[in-house]
Every structure is written in structure tokens, then in C-alpha cells.
């Protein structure tokens, strides 16, 4: 599970699935040896032996104030499902879906609120994620698309009417069926739409969100794995 607090990633990883590369983290803290302190939330930090209690304590720290020095948090734990259940119970969960549409090797991006973004939106009542993603893409861009496969799921938090909201977004890869009516949806403050190659998208996404870069990175890794299997 990855949650974005003010666009900064908070990852919950099962201990036996943790892979640590050189210089990946600025600080590694074993919570069996050290007591959790808010001052530890700086740079890229990895907490080992995390529990439901310590994970929730970190979330409460972030809800009060996100430290300026914090870049990302990874909590390695044997209690992954218990932590996720606790988090979902703490927030009001809202479901959304979106995706990356591909045409002739290029990906569709939108420019909205001065950032490059991907089409996405909330599920209507009784709607499943795939159907919602197809609808949102057509509403926001005018493009008709066909689902190929799921990419990943992201979560992010915000406050609405004094309620703590946890928004779950399921992301899918799409093939473009018809873009003859491609038009940015002005009501959603979408200024323009365009197709970009993967290399062009790398530069483009400098002016985007960490959550969107995470989706694109997840898709890129999927493509590399598929290529290596050939």
C-alpha cells in the first residue's frame, strides 16, 4: 500500500518483500531498538519492525503536520494487512479510477491546474473501477478507450468538510479506440491534451505529482518485465 500525504509517499511493505538498494534511504531505524520520534521523519526514511501502533503513530504525526524535511517513509512490517485495515477504518474511503491511454506508442496526458496529469475520477454509485475509468477518460478527454490491464493502486489523503478522506485510485492501461473527438473538459479545468512518447513523458513529468510519476514508473517497470520475458 502506498499513500500520498501532500504528494509525499508513505509505503507499507511486508518485511519479506522489502528490497533495499544502495543509498535508497537516508535513515534506517529499527523500531525494536529505538523509540519512534517525530524528529525521525526527514529525508527518505525506512522503519524496520513496524507495528500497527507505530504505523498509526506516524500517520497521526503526518495528519497534524508534515515535516518540511520529509521526502518519503517506508514501513517494513509483518502486520501489513492489520495496518491497512486500521488506516482504512480511520478515514472515510472514497473510490476513484483512471488510466494511461496509449496510441501508436504514445501516452495521453492532460494539463490541469498548471500540472501534467492523467485522466481519473470518482466512481458513480454501483459502478466498478474499470467502467469508471473508461467513463472518466471519455468525459475528461473525449477519447474512447479499451482496458488492457491494471497498472497499480494509489491512495492519497485530504480533508473535506472536516472529514478525513482517503481516496483510493485504481489505475489501468488502455488502448485508444477513437480520439477523433478529443477535447479537454473545461469544467474540470483541463487546459490541453496531447500524446507523448515515453522519453518525452520523463521530461514532462517534472511538472507533475509524485503519485502520477509513481503510476508511470509502475507501468514502465511492467513493460521492462514483459520485455525481459521474451
pLDDT tens per residue across span 63-83: 999 999 999 999 999 999 999
Q: Compute the distance between CA of residue 146 and CA of residue 177 in angstroms, rounded to an integer.
A: 7
Q: Compute the distance between CA of residue 96 and CA of residue 136 in angstroms, rounded to an integer.
A: 10
Q: Compute the distance between CA of residue 42 and CA of residue 133 in angstroms, rounded to an integer.
A: 35
Q: Is the pLDDT of residue 12 over 70?
A: yes
Q: How many CB atoms lie within 10 A of CB 5?
A: 20
Average pLDDT over residues 172-187: 96
Q: Give me 88's grid cell.
A: 482504512
* DSSP structure class, residue 42: S
Average pLDDT over residues 153-165: 90
Which carries the bigger pLDDT value, residue 154 or residue 227?
A: 154
Mean pLDDT, the chain, integer: 93
Could you report the per-residue pLDDT of 115-141, keeping only the tens digit for each? 999 999 999 999 999 999 999 999 999
Where helices occur in 51-168 by DSSP H, the ranges are 52-64, 80-90, 129-141
Contact 59, 36 (CB under 8 A): no
Q: Is the pLDDT of residue 25 over 60?
A: yes
- Identify the pLDDT of residue 21: 67
Helix axes 52-64, 80-90, angle to 10 degrees: 40
Could you report the per-residue pLDDT of 192-215, keeping only the tens digit for each? 999 999 889 989 999 999 999 999
| Strand stretches in 51-184, DSSP E | 70-77, 92-103, 106-112, 115-117, 120-122, 144-160, 163-178
Q: Is the pLDDT of residue 228 over 70?
A: no
Could you report the per-residue pLDDT of 26-73, keeping only the tens digit for each? 999 999 999 999 999 999 999 999 999 999 999 999 999 999 999 999
- Identify the pLDDT of residue 225: 52
Q: Is the pLDDT of residue 230 over 80?
A: no
Could you report the per-residue pLDDT of 103-112, keeping only the tens digit for each? 999 999 999 9
C-alpha pair distances (Å), 93 with each of 121, 156, 163, 167, 168: 14, 10, 10, 6, 7
Q: Compute the distance between CA of residue 125 and CA of residue 78 in angstroms, rounded to an integer.
A: 35
pTM recorded for the entire structure: 0.90
Q: Compute the distance between CA of residue 105 and CA of residue 17 in angstroms, rounded to an integer.
A: 32
- Identify the pLDDT of residue 134: 97
Q: Compute the distance between CA of residue 78 and CA of residue 66 in angstroms, rounded to an integer.
A: 26
Q: Compute the distance between CA of residue 74 and CA of residue 9 in angstroms, rounded to an integer.
A: 8
Catalogue all structural domains in the chain, each as residue range(s) with its CATH number: 2-90 (no CATH), 93-228 (3.90.79.10)
Q: Compute the distance between CA of residue 143 and CA of residue 180 in angstroms, rounded to an integer.
A: 8
Residue tagged 478515514 (cell numbers): 91
Amino acid at each position: 500500500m502506498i499513500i500520498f500525504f501532500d504528494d509525499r509517499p508513505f509505503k507499507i511493505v511486508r518485511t519479506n518483500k522489502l528490497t533495499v538498494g544502495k543509498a535508497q534511504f537516508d535513515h534506517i531505524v529499527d523500531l525494536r531498538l529505538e523509540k519512534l520520534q517525530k524528529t525521525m521523519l526527514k529525508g527518505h526514511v525506512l522503519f524496520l519492525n513496524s507495528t500497527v501502533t507505530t504505523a498509526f503513530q506516524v500517520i497521526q504525526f503526518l495528519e497534524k503536520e508534515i515535516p518540511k524535511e520529509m521526502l518519503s517513509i517506508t514501513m517494513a512490517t509483518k502486520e501489513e494487512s492489520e495496518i491497512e485495515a486500521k488506516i482504512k477504518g480511520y478515514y472515510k474511503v472514497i473510490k476513484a479510477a483512471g488510466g494511461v491511454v496509449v496510441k501508436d506508442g504514445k501516452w495521453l496526458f492532460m494539463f490541469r491546474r498548471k500540472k501534467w496529469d492523467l485522466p481519473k475520477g470518482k466512481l458513480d454509485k454501483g459502478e466498478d473501477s474499470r467502467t469508471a475509468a473508461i467513463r472518466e477518460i471519455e468525459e475528461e478527454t473525449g477519447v474512447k478507450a479499451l482496458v488492457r490491464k491494471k497498472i497499480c493502486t494509489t491512495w492519497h489523503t485530504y480533508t473535506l468538510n472536516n472529514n478525513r478522506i482517503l481516496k483510493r485510485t485504481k489505475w489501468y492501461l488502455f488502448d485508444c479506440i477513437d480520439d477523433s473527438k478529443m477535447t479537454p473538459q473545461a469544467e474540470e479545468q483541463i487546459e490541453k491534451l496531447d500524446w507523448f512518447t515515453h522519453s518525452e513523458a520523463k521530461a514532462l513529468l517534472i511538472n507533475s505529482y509524485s503519485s502520477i510519476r509513481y503510476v508511470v514508473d509502475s507501468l514502465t517497470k511492467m513493460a521492462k518485465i514483459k520485455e525481459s520475458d521474451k
